[in-house]
């Protein structure tokens, strides 16, 4: 099908904020181009277990929106594609270059049956399961991917032709080439989300050194219906963990690693996971080492109190070091603030690091003749957060969700709709001449 070359709005990033903004704009009749660098839309939300504090199934909320965006008549979806250059020619007039990477799979022909995955002989680490298991060089990103279509990872492909021979839809196509699309848009929403803090930057917490130290994102995968294991198990040896500890503020409120801010979501996702673990492993003990608990949103304090009442231990203390014993258990040495700062240690089967959220603002480099300002730690600056929360330093370019700073899912969705509304007002004024 021939690609249109003019849209009202370009949305960069198809996580939950980008999808929400696209749906709102699409429903209002605006033509949207939604660009996602990964092979599936959905972002981090599609990989989560449940949301807090309501414990709603995350994928049950995300998947219908993902499907709606993919099938919306006013939304054109480009996955596995990257915005490479944006030039502002004037108000409501942007020229955009987009690199469409080859999937080596015909999207129209692929049925998502997974046979190419089964016959592919090469196993590599599965980035969508945060390296907790492998995937094949021919792969579908994850079970609820949209579009649920295969990709051939050419960096790891041995060009054996097995996938092509076995594909019942004859969808494998190694003749595909990278393609640069040039489009014109009237406005842009940046919804590139956030990166997770790399816990190897705090080596004392043992990530990488102790196999039974994982991140909270990995734990969320273990608790999700599309989990990498058959149960909640520890990665060192597949044992069911009976004592699990959380260390909060890993990479947040930490000037040593350049992140002075609170990531806002870690306390609550840890508390959520504690509840889910108690459901999945009723006999397990869960301890949370914290500095402060920041349960600031609607229903959060009650959720925190409920988790305490269910038996999760909250230990106010700074963890000093994490070590592995001979059985692969994790020894946590900490300062107990409720006991006068005494040094103590305890042993756990599994330790979860509540890693913080980091800016993901590299996209600003593709804007050639305008400068999108960042705040002091690198998030996209909201220049008028009280009145126009989606406004950036460049008229016509808006920001939604965690690209502007860490926030939970409901706040991301609210900001995405704010961005969509501001976008409509901007287009009405500068493109359609419909100013009030």
Q: Which is nearer to another protein, 170 or 305 (CB)?
A: 170
- Is 356 in contact with 406 (CB distance < 8 Å)? yes
- Is 228 in contact with 219 (CB distance < 8 Å)? no
Q: Which residues contact 351 (CB under 8 A, 6 or more apart)?
A: 205, 206, 210, 212, 213, 214, 244, 245, 246, 247, 322, 330, 332
Least spacing, CB of residue 158 vs another protein, in Å:
4
Can you give the binding site for another protein, defined by CB under 8 A? 106, 109, 117-119, 121-123, 126, 132-136, 156, 158-161, 164, 169-175, 211, 228-231, 233, 235-242, 328
Whole-number Å distance between alpha carbons of 360 and 367: 15
Least spacing, CB of residue 277 vs another protein, in Å:
14
The rounded Cα 164 to chain-centroid distance in angstroms is 32
Q: Is the bond preceding residue 147 a cis peptide, omega within 30 degrees?
A: yes
Least spacing, CB of residue 84 vs another protein, in Å:
23
How many residues are given for the chain? 436
Instruction: Indicate the Cα dihedral angle 171, 100, 127, 289, nearest 10°.
Output: -150
Nearest residue to 86 via CA among 74, 76, 99, 69:
99
Q: Which is nearer to another protein, 89 or 125 (CB)?
A: 125
Least spacing, CB of residue 155 vs another protein, in Å:
9
- Is 246 in contact with 289 (CB distance < 8 Å)? yes
Q: Which is nearer to another protein, 116 or 190 (CB)?
A: 116
Q: Which is nearer to another protein, 231 or 305 (CB)?
A: 231
Least spacing, CB of residue 165 vs another protein, in Å:
8
Structure token digits, residue 236: 């060192």
Q: Which is nearer to another protein, 140 or 268 (CB)?
A: 140
What end-to-end distance do the CA atoms of the chain give, in Å?
Answer: 38
Q: Which is nearer to another protein, 243 or 333 (CB)?
A: 243
Least spacing, CB of residue 348 vs another protein, in Å:
14
Whole-number Å distance between alpha carbons of 157 and 160: 8
Least spacing, CB of residue 123 vs another protein, in Å:
5
Q: Is 249 exposed, middle or buried (0-12, 13-18, 19+ CB in 10 A)?
A: buried
Least spacing, CB of residue 11 vs another protein, in Å:
31
Q: Which is nearer to another protein, 54 or 125 (CB)?
A: 125
Least spacing, CB of residue 241 vs another protein, in Å:
8
- Is 379 in contact with 361 (CB distance < 8 Å)? yes
Q: Which is nearer to another protein, 143 or 254 (CB)?
A: 143
Whole-number Å distance between alpha carbons of 389 and 408: 16
Relative to beta strand 81-90, strand 93-100 is: antiparallel
């Amino acid at each position: 099908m021939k690609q249109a070359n003019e849209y009202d709005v370009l949305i960069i990033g198809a996580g939950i904020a980008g999808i929400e903004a696209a749906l709102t704009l699409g429903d209002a009749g605006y033509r949207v181009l939604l660009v996602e660098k990964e092979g599936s839309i959905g972002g981090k939300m599609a990989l989560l277990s449940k949301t807090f504090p309501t414990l709603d199934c995350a994928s049950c909320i995300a998947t219908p929106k993902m499907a709606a965006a993919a099938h919306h008549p006013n939304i054109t979806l480009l996955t596995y594609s990257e915005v490479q250059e944006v030039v502002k020619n004037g108000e409501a007039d942007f020229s955009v270059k987009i690199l469409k990477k080859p999937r080596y799979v015909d999207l129209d022909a692929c049925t998502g049956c997974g046979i190419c995955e089964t016959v592919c002989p090469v196993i590599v680490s599965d980035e969508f399961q945060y390296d907790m298991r492998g995937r094949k060089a021919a792969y579908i990103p994850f079970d609820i991917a949209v579009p649920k279509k295969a990709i051939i990872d050419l960096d790891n492909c041995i060009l054996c032709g097995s996938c092509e021979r076995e594909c019942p839809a004859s969808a494998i196509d190694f003749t595909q080439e990278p393609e640069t699309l040039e489009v014109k848009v009237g406005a842009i929403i940046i919804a590139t989300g956030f990166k997770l803090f790399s816990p190897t930057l705090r080596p004392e917490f043992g990530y990488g050194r102790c196999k039974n130290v994982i991140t909270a994102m990995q734990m969320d995968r273990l608790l999700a219906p599309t989990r990498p294991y058959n149960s909640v198990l520890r990665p060192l040896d597949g044992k069911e963990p009976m004592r699990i500890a959380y260390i909060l503020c890993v990479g947040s409120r930490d000037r040593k690693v350049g992140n002075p801010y609170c990531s806002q979501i870690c306390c609550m996702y840890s508390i959520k996971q504690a509840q889910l673990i108690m459901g999945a492993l009723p006999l397990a003990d869960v301890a949370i080492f914290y500095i402060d608990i920041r349960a600031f949103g609607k229903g959060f304090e009650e959720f925190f109190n409920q988790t305490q009442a269910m038996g999760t231990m909250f230990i106010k203390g700074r963890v000093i070091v994490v070590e592995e014993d001979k059985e692969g258990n994790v020894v946590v040495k900490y300062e107990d603030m409720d006991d006068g700062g005494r040094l103590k240690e305890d042993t756990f089967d599994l330790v979860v690091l509540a890693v913080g959220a980091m800016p993901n603002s590299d996209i600003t480099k593709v804007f050639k003749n305008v400068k999108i300002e960042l705040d002091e730690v690198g998030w996209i600056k909201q220049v008028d957060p009280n009145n126009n929360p989606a406004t950036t330093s460049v008229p016509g370019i808006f920001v939604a969700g965690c690209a502007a700073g860490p926030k939970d899912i409901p706040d991301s969705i609210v900001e995405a709709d704010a961005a969509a509304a501001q976008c409509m007002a901007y287009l009405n004024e500068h493109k359609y001449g419909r100013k009030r």
